Structure 1
Amino acid sequence: MAAFLEQARTARPLDGVVVVSIEQALAAPLCTSRLAEMGARVIKIERAEGDFARGYDDAANGQSSYFVWTNRGKESLVIDFKQPDDAALLHRILGEADVFVQNLAPGALARAGFDGASLRERYPRLITCDITGYGTQGEASKLKAYDLLVQCESGLAGISGAPEAYGRIGVSICDIGAGMNAAIGVLSALALRERTGQGSGVSVSLFDGAADWMTIPYLHELYGQGAPTRQGLKHPSIAPYGAFTTKDRRDIVISVQNEREWQQFCAAFLQRPDAAQDARFASNTERVRNRAALDSLIAGVFAELNTDETLVRLSAANTAYGQVRSVAEMSTHPALRTWPMRVGDAELHMVAPPVRAPWDQGHFDRAPALGEHSASLRAEFAVSEAGATV
């Protein structure tokens, strides 16, 4: 009974699932790393020079921060699938696989005979996932799709930043979004296969993900009064909702979401209950319309208080707030969770997975060296004298 309970505690939802991925950079590797965290066996196919993300930087104890984040717990197999023997090896592996993920340029795998439709015809239970920049049809599909470029093309950069300058979202958010959407697609296809017995093809693009996030500004532009302008650390349609600077030069963002919160804020933080009755600030619509006067009133109080005094008053007013922290300050945040991961000869404290689950290991498996598993995988999927996979 104890052994059964221990097995139940450690079982992961994708135990036994085999994922093959021809991947590079960020979106596809992030997708498959999430699948690996759920228990999948992920076989990463690399060219002789390796995933170019291996060379992005050396911040993680001499290794690429991008690579160690998105390739934990995978196996690395170096092949050239354009060569007949390696193509045959890849087919033998795919014959045993459940999922195939790829994010090469549109058409690259089709020319080699490994496009999703052909693979699903040959292996009916296989799930294929294609990750592209702009889809596979139309003029836009030919565009190169690096993250910042997609931020620009999708309009995301157009509403980010301060009024005087566009701003890039500070992480590769379009790549990350595509990777997460791909993981959702793969999990959905696995669930469907449980009912039908058949694999299916799913696809995501960086642009589709960014466009989905742009739905609110899109609707405002087409059917409202126009898309929001760049506001920096201010909300375009709620006030007060933005950053104010304390006497000791600390920026704190506050958010007041309704009239009850506004009245509490006026009484306990501003210590001006009468401000709640000011016709200019009587509703969110009026506060947004009179934002300059509102911000001036609030900024004056912030300027008289140091950070500790400000936080005490905000707490007394039950006002939501967030301190604008540096990455160094984020690294010591009381809410931050980390897991250890071996990288070279050191143990790094990596940010823990965002999904907390019963199957959490409490540590990360290491990322593979280039071709680390080539010999063992070639042996595992070798052809016997009788012509069958060993």
Structure 2
Amino acid sequence: SDLRVGGPQGESHFFMAFNRGKKSVALDFTKPDGQAVVHKLLEKADVLVENFRPGVLKKYGLDYPSLAKKYPKLIYLSISAYGQTGPLSDRPGYDPVLQAESGMMSVNGEANGEGLRHAIAIVDTMTAIHSVAAINAALFARTSTGKGQHVDLALYDTALVSLGNMGAYYLIGGEQPRRAGNGHFASAPNSSFETSNGKIYMAVANQKLFGDTCKALGHPEWITDPRFDTVANRVANKPELTRLMEEVLKTDTKENWAQKLRHLPAGPIRTMKEALDEPEVKRRGMLKTYKHARVGEVPLIGSNYRFSDTPVDDSRPPPSLGEHTEQVLSGLAGYGAAEIAALREKKIVS
């Protein structure tokens, strides 16, 4: 079981997107009676996840050192902006700020423009994914050690890890990777290209793919053209190669080119509507409609996991705040109806 300690949440599209399948308990743990409820839940919990600023939970006896004494098998995951210790640990953390500070923005954007943030909350999302991996690793370790442990996961660290090959490019070569917009500073043709009704994206990253692309576009002579016969030459003559390719690509639609080039790394640049209306999305079962307790039907993107033996149950909607308070307190913590009513009266739960 998982015990998630956090502050009040709204029911925006952001909340809906990331809280499908969870149960919501509204609990004031700043009061002793609320702390007692947390302890009752911890008796059956495997994992506790918290994302308060370092030191906040210590005031209520809910920090890891305090809880580890009583629940030695507990996996305790702390998510913060800059880690649990150090001179930056008291700072708040917001996704675009972490993108800026980590160097991520410096490689994103047009070549002659400023560094741009990713529109998706990529650092938050990657931290959440890493938290799942970290929790599972800690649970696996517990099978050998018999003990729980504290996991310190920082948004800042995740942002740095997400630099991937770009970070390695700088560390190994000592040069700042150059922004290239939709293109690539060291590869061509690797960018967006105009068709008759919009753009497609092509990632032609090696010599074989370039040869296949030239043939598919009806110009095999480009393969041996001295302007384009190596990656370096294609990068040096990128504007001319783009012009020639777009002369061909503008003769048909992005949808038709997607079919003609389906054996190559090429695809249409779609709007959100075009992407989510695509038949393959429906065939893969990626769109779900949930019955939300307060607002009715809510369409959301479903789970991308496909297990052969244990299918994912992604049928449960995101909760309303406090929707499952009574269910969790009675079912997991063993509270009776009168006890729950008394907690409501004291405004410990809602």
Q: What interval of TM-score do these two structures reach, taking the shorter chain for normalisation?
A: 0.7 to 0.9
Distance 2:212 2:321 in 1: 59
Structure 2 residue 203 is the aligned partner of structure 1 residue 259: no
Specify the alignment match of 2:77 in structure 1. Answer: 129
Q: Name the CA shift for 1:309/1:328 in 2 (closer, same or farther; >3 Å).
A: closer
Distance 2:314 2:60 in 1: 38
Distance 1:362 1:99 in 2: 20
SS at match of 2:25: strand
Residue 327 of structure 1, CA deviation = 0.6
Distance 2:316 2:274 in 1: 27
Specify the alignment match of 1:5 in structure 2. Answer: none
Specify the alignment match of 1:275 in structure 2. Answer: 222
Distance 2:34 2:49 in 1: 18
Asked whether the equivalents of residues 72 and 367 of structure 1 are also in contact (C-alpha less than 8 Å), the reply is: yes
Greater alpha carbon shift after TM alignment, 340-349 vs 257-266: 340-349
Specify the alignment match of 1:296 in structure 2. Answer: 243
Q: Name the CA shift for 1:124/1:254 in 2 (closer, same or farther; >3 Å).
A: same
Specify the alignment match of 2:34 in structure 1. Answer: 86
Does 1 or 2 have the higher relative contact order (CA < 8 Å, sep 6+)? 2
Aligned pairs for 1:94-133 within 5 A: 94-133=42-81
Asked whether the equivalents of residues 89 and 382 of structure 1 are also in contact (C-alpha less than 8 Å), the reply is: no
Structure 2 residue 3 is the aligned partner of structure 1 residue 20: yes
Residue 162 of structure 1, CA deviation = 2.1
Distance 2:91 2:172 in 1: 29
Distance 2:326 2:73 in 1: 27
Residue 298 of structure 1, CA deviation = 1.9
Residue 382 of structure 1, CA deviation = 5.8
Asked whether the equivalents of residues 254 and 268 of structure 2 are also in contact (C-alpha less than 8 Å), the reply is: no
Distance 1:203 1:88 in 2: 25
- CA displacement 1:101-149 (0-9 Å, x = unmatched): 1011111112222112321222111111011111122223232211111
Residue 93 of structure 1, CA deviation = 1.6
Structure 2 residue 233 is the aligned partner of structure 1 residue 286: yes
Greater alpha carbon shift after TM alignment, 198-207 vs 170-179: 198-207
Specify the alignment match of 2:148 in structure 1. Answer: 199
Q: Name the CA shift for 1:225/1:273 in 2 (closer, same or farther; >3 Å).
A: farther
SS at match of 1:140: coil
SS at match of 1:243: strand
Distance 2:295 2:171 in 1: 55
Residue 237 of structure 1, CA deviation = 2.4
SS at match of 1:161: coil
Distance 1:268 1:75 in 2: 52
Specify the alignment match of 1:239 in structure 2. Answer: 188
Report the RMSD for the aligned CA atoms in angstroms.
2.3
Residue 78 of structure 1, CA deviation = 2.2
Distance 1:148 1:361 in 2: 32
Asked whether the equivalents of residues 258 and 268 of structure 2 are also in contact (C-alpha less than 8 Å), the reply is: no
Asked whether the equivalents of residues 96 and 121 of structure 2 are also in contact (C-alpha less than 8 Å), the reply is: yes
Asked whether the equivalents of residues 50 and 77 of structure 2 are also in contact (C-alpha less than 8 Å), the reply is: yes
- Work out the percentage of aligned pairs sharing the same amino acid: 28
SS at match of 1:77: coil
Aligned pairs for 1:327-366 within 5 A: 327-336=272-281, 337-343=286-292, 344=294, 346-357=296-307, 358-360=309-311, 363-366=314-317
Asked whether the equivalents of residues 339 and 362 of structure 1 are also in contact (C-alpha less than 8 Å), the reply is: no
Distance 1:312 1:99 in 2: 47
Which one of the candidate residues 248, 255, 268 is aligned to 1:323? Answer: 268
1:260 corresponds to which letter in structure 2?
A: K
Aligned pairs for 1:176-191 within 5 A: 176-191=125-140
Asked whether the equivalents of residues 252 and 323 of structure 1 are also in contact (C-alpha less than 8 Å), the reply is: yes
Task: Give the alignment's TM-score, normalised by structure 1.
Answer: 0.77
- CA displacement 1:14-50 (0-9 Å, x = unmatched): xxxx211113xxxxxxxxxxxxxxxxxxxxxx5xxx2
Q: Name the CA shift for 1:366/1:266 in 2 (closer, same or farther; >3 Å).
A: closer
- CA displacement 1:39-66 (0-9 Å, x = unmatched): xxxxxxx5xxx22xx1xxxxxxxx4212
- CA displacement 1:46-94 (0-9 Å, x = unmatched): 5xxx22xx1xxxxxxxx42122222233332222222112112212221
Residue 379 of structure 1, CA deviation = 4.6
Specify the alignment match of 1:40 in structure 2. Answer: none
Residue 346 of structure 1, CA deviation = 3.1
Specify the alignment match of 1:213 in structure 2. Answer: 162
Asked whether the equivalents of residues 258 and 267 of structure 2 are also in contact (C-alpha less than 8 Å), the reply is: no
Structure 1: any 5+ residue segments left out of the alignment? 1-17, 24-45, 55-62, 385-390
Greater alpha carbon shift after TM alignment, 119-128 vs 279-288: 279-288
SS at match of 1:242: strand
Q: Name the CA shift for 1:246/1:382 in 2 (closer, same or farther; >3 Å).
A: closer
Residue 255 of structure 1, CA deviation = 1.8
Task: Give the alignment's TM-score, normalised by structure 2.
Answer: 0.85
Q: Name the CA shift for 1:290/1:121 in 2 (closer, same or farther; >3 Å).
A: farther
